[in-house]
Amino acid sequence: MTFEQAAVLVQSASDLLALGNRLETIATALADAGEPQAHHQPLADATGQVGAAMRGIFDALDAAHADGGGPFRES
């Protein structure tokens, strides 16, 4: 894995974190407004899926580093 690839993955994780935060904010607002759970639960579920995607990115970075392939080699 190159520096550039690692940088893209890190930026993607950051973007996912922002998305997860927005989804959680909306889901919480709907719940606080008394909306039925069916209206906000899918958003809460989506935050878990976003978290799983982030975990996958971090696992890929860890695996590449453990194998000596980076993200510390030049492209």
Rounded percentage of the chain residues whose pLDDT exceeds 90: 69
What is the per-residue pLDDT across 30-59, written as a single tens digit (0 to 9) for each? 999 999 999 999 999 999 999 999 999 999
- 10, with CB counted inside 10 A (0-12, 13-18, 19+), is middle
70: left (phi over 0), alpha (psi -120 to 50) or beta: left
pLDDT given at position 14? 95
9: left (phi over 0), alpha (psi -120 to 50) or beta: alpha
CB distance 1 to 70 below 8 Å: yes
